[in-house]
Amino acid sequence: MSGSDPPSHMTGKELLIVLVISLGSFMAGLDATIVNIALPSIAKAFDVSTVLASWVLNAYLIILVSLLLAAAKIGDIKGYKQVFVTGFAIFTVGSGLCGVASSVDLLIAFRMIQAIGGAIIAALGSVMVTSYLGEKVRGQALGLVAMFTMLGVALGPVIGGFLTSTFSWQYIFYVNIPVGILAILLGVSVIPTHSPVFPSSRLDTPGVILIFIALGSLIVGLNQIQTQEIGIGVEALVLSVISWILLYLHEKKTLQPLIILSVFKNCSYSVQNINILILQMGLAGVMFLMPFYLEIVKDLPTGTSGALLLSLPVGNILTAPIAGKISDVIGTKKPIMAGFVIMILALFFLSTISVSTHTGEVALYLFIIGAGAGIAFAPLNSAIMGESPESERGMTSGLLKMMTNLGSTLGVTITLLVATTTLGPKITEVAAHTLQPEELSRAFGTAFLFTMVIQVIALLLMLGVRESGQERSEKYQ
3-state secondary structure labels for all residues of 430-466: CCHHHCCHHHHHHHHHHHHHHHHHHHHHHHHHHHCCC
Cα 216 to Cα 59: distance, rounded to the nearest angstrom: 9
- Is the C-alpha dihedral spanning 302, 305, 310, 312 positive or negative? negative
How many helices and strands (H and E) does the chain possess?
20, 0
Least confidently predicted of 69-73, 187-191, 472-476: 472-476
Q: Does 4 score more than 70 pLDDT?
A: no
pLDDT grade, residue 470 (50/70/90)? Answer: very low
At position 124, the amino acid (one-letter code) is L
* Count of positions (residues) in the chain: 477
pLDDT score, position 471 = 41
Which whole number is the average pLDDT over 98-124? 94
Give, in order, the Cα–Cα distances in Å from 169 to each of 43, 161, 163, 323. 10, 9, 7, 37
Q: Does 294 score more than 90 pLDDT?
A: no
pLDDT in tens, 361-386: 999 999 999 999 999 988 998 899 88
pLDDT score, position 302 = 65
Which whole number is the average pLDDT over 226-247? 90
Higher per-residue confidence, 119 vs 439? 119
**CB-CB contact of 37 with 183 (8 Å):** no
pLDDT score, position 379 = 92
Q: Does 40 score more than 80 pLDDT?
A: no
Which whole number is the average pLDDT over 290-315? 81
pLDDT score, position 3 = 44
pLDDT in tens, 391-417: 888 899 889 888 988 888 888 888 888
**CB-CB contact of 131 with 80 (8 Å):** yes
Higher per-residue confidence, 149 vs 242? 242
pLDDT grade, residue 468 (50/70/90)? Answer: low
Residue 413, exposed/middle/buried by CB under 10 A (0-12, 13-18, 19+)?
Answer: buried
Q: DSSP character for 6?
A: P
Average model confidence (pLDDT) across the chain = 86
Cα 22 to Cα 24: distance, rounded to the nearest angstrom: 5
pLDDT grade, residue 125 (50/70/90)? Answer: confident
Q: Does 268 score more than 70 pLDDT?
A: yes
pLDDT score, position 108 = 95
Q: Does 33 score more than 80 pLDDT?
A: no
Higher per-residue confidence, 435 vs 240? 240
Give, in order, the Cα–Cα distances in Å from 414 to each of 52, 150, 230, 240, 408. 22, 22, 15, 17, 10
